Amino acid sequence: MIETQNLPIALFDSGVGGLSVLRAIYRQMPQESILYFADTARLPYGTRSPETILQFVREIMDWLSTQGVKMVIMACNTSSALALEAVRAEYDLPILGLILPGARAAVKQGKNIGVIATPATVASNAYFQAIKEIDSTTRVWQVGCPEFVPLIEGNHIHSAYTRQVAQKYLNSLISKRIDTLIYGCTHYRHLEGVLHSILPPSVNIIDPAESIAIAAERELRLMGLKNNKLPLPTRFCVSGSAEQFAELSQQWLGFCPRVEKIHLRESSMIEMTLKSSEGV
């Protein structure tokens, strides 16, 4: 019987974006075992409706709840913005989102804050509200970047077109003279080379991945749930092509992961079938 503290932490995202959070967790808590899930069959999330995003997150949470994990980290800003509050009340697991840790870190750095995020995250106003609640005198500018996730998932990180698109998205924030920029989507850390080269050097970059890793460690410590055994190798699961995810992700992981394809809906159907055959 595995003790709760030795169970893995689950991270999920629509795709490879959450790997930026995974890397921050590796740095902050190298002793923890991790289950990483990417809903690649249904990405991008950021152009979907709030209802659809909530439904996808519930399906992921249902599956994760059957996998024996001690904590869930939404390594996806879109899910954190649209679904965190609802699912926190529905599942008996600690669930962490990126918005509050990101907003807190940004307010410590500046007064004129830019947020680049998916259209769904921008439309939710989650960052705007979180920042204003902490400091109502801060100015907040948000830009939706619908092209970034498909470009990153398509491995066009270094293309001239991606640079043009980044320039277009950042121009309006640069003209507002922002002093701080939040990566409001976990995928965007993968574009840090191009983003850094466009932004004035004085702009502070906030990657909420760093703050959520610190918050997760604190939470585990408070709950007495830090792993006290050797960590297991990270388990990578996807809803789409395992080969494609393994191929794309190795540039950020530094190794070629073994990836399992899982069927979210089918797994909950199997469970229902099992339950009904048990007469539950």
- Alpha-carbon distance 45 to 48, whole Å? 5
Considering CB under 6 A, how many residues would be counted as binding ligand DGL? 16
**Does residue 186 interact with ligand DGL by CB under 6 A?**
yes
**Does residue 190 interact with ligand DGL by CB under 6 A?**
no
| Residue 77 CB, nearest approach to ligand DGL (Å) | 4
How many residues are recorded in the chain? 280
Active-site annotation holds for 185: yes
Per CB under 6 A, the segment of 4-12, 71-79, 231-239, 249-257 that binds ligand DGL is: 71-79
Q: Which helix (H) or strand (E) element contains residue 208? A: helix 208-223
Q: Which is nearer to ligand DGL, 124 or 227 (CB)?
A: 124
- What stretches of 133-233 adopt beta strand conformation (E)? 139-144, 180-183, 204-206
| Residue 84 CB, nearest approach to ligand DGL (Å) | 12
Per CB under 6 A, the segment of 9-17, 25-33, 101-109, 161-169 that binds ligand DGL is: 9-17
Per CB under 6 A, the segment of 11-19, 125-133, 157-165, 271-279 that binds ligand DGL is: 11-19
**Does residue 44 interact with ligand DGL by CB under 6 A?**
yes
Tokens of 267: 């797994």
**Does residue 34 interact with ligand DGL by CB under 6 A?**
no
**Does residue 12 interact with ligand DGL by CB under 6 A?**
no
Q: Which is nearer to ligand DGL, 43 or 237 (CB)?
A: 43
Helix and strand totals (H; E) in the chain: 12, 10
Q: Which long-range contacts (CB under 8 A, 24 or more apart) does 136-141 make?
A: 137/111, 138/107, 138/110, 138/111, 138/112, 138/113, 139/111, 139/112, 139/113, 139/176, 140/113, 140/114, 140/115, 141/112, 141/113, 141/114, 141/115, 141/172, 141/173, 141/176, 141/178
**Does residue 185 interact with ligand DGL by CB under 6 A?**
yes
Q: Catalytic residue, from 76, 145, 237, 256: name it.
A: 76
| Residue 279 CB, nearest approach to ligand DGL (Å) | 40
Q: Please, are residues 112 and 178 in contact by the beta-carbon 8 Å criterion?
A: yes
Tokens of 22: 């995974």
**Does residue 20 interact with ligand DGL by CB under 6 A?**
no
Q: Please, are residues 83 and 57 in contact by the beta-carbon 8 Å criterion?
A: yes
- Which residues within the stretch 211-250 sit at the binding site for ligand DGL (CB under 6 A)? none
Which residues are CB-neighbours of 234 under 8 A, at least 6 positions away? 22, 33, 34, 35, 36, 257
**Does residue 46 interact with ligand DGL by CB under 6 A?**
yes
Task: Give me the helix-helix angle, 50-65 and 77-88, nearest 10°.
Answer: 70
**Does residue 32 interact with ligand DGL by CB under 6 A?**
no
Among 9, 35, 38, 77, binds ligand DGL (CB under 6 A): 77
- Which residues within the stretch 120-139 sit at the binding site for ligand DGL (CB under 6 A)? 121
End-to-end Cα, the chain, rounded Å: 24
**Does residue 102 interact with ligand DGL by CB under 6 A?**
no
Catalytic residue numbers?
76, 185
Q: Which residues bind ligand DGL (CB under 6 A)?
A: 13-14, 17, 43-46, 76-78, 118, 121, 149, 185-187
